[in-house]
Structure 1
Amino acid sequence: MPDTTSRRRRPWPEVSRTAPIRALLATLATLPKFPAAPPCAADPAQFDLYVPRETPRAALDRWRRAEEVCLNCPFLAACLPLAGSGVEGVVAGRVCGLSGLPPQPPSVLEYSGPSRSGRCRYRVDAAELRRRARAANRRRAHERQLERRGA
């Protein structure tokens, strides 16, 4: 019978689920300290990526409500660096962590049914993106016009 007591135990590998948390903590350490709590602190579950037993359409509605809170938040500019840092959920008015999509505002997402693996699929509404781009272009053109008149 072989001696099993002489075997060395291998150290446990670092759990990959902790990497996003460490990235969040590192990013949060670089942010300025705020005098008051941000509005998202009142209901943090609203900003989660997934909630158990929630339908995809309900999740989309919840993300859109969270987007409204973010867009009216005085600390929005401070949260923008977090949007691409590996944090999952609604961050700086964008849904982060959806498979196959970069961070997107919830208002441009549509539910497109379950995937073959059984996970929910979301896609970007191209018409809404074009509408937003046109509106941003009109705003920039208007600002340039105002600058020319003032100069």
Structure 2
Amino acid sequence: MAMCDKGAKFPNLKVTSHHKHYWNDAEGQADYLAVTEDDLTFNPPAMPFGNCKLKTTSGGYLPCTYAPAGKWTKTYEKVKVMGKSTVTELSELMCATGGKITILKHGQQSEAGKSHINNASSDEMQIYNPIVDYDKFKEEINGEDLFEVE
């Protein structure tokens, strides 16, 4: 999901640069295609950002006439999809009208696993959350069965 600092709606990106590389989905659903620097299409394609704050009349704002000014910038150069850099939450796309488009929701979710819990300092965690006995929490997480099955 993207946003323009001059728009009022938040469209989804539509991947058009490839139909091959999927992220976060074992079934390969189209919603999880990797977005690259060449992906400049949004869904809906007409007026993707709603009304534009840069286009005004006495009656209010006029509809967005989305016109990308080049490719995405501030892309992630270390990961390439078919030779193209990938878009991250830090990436920006300038609009010829004057707006700056960024990623609002990227769909990648981080979650803490057992290794994060085991590597965390119990003393530090006690400071952040004094209600929880962190050593006891580690023991519960590392136990063989978290749920009793009969």
TM-score > 0.5, shorter chain as reference? no
Higher helix share: 1
Structure with larger RCO (C-alpha < 8 A, sep 6+): 2
Which of the five TM-score ranges fits, normalised by the shorter chain? under 0.3
The TM-score, its normalising length taken from structure 1, stands at 0.20
Higher strand share: 2
The TM-score, its normalising length taken from structure 2, stands at 0.20
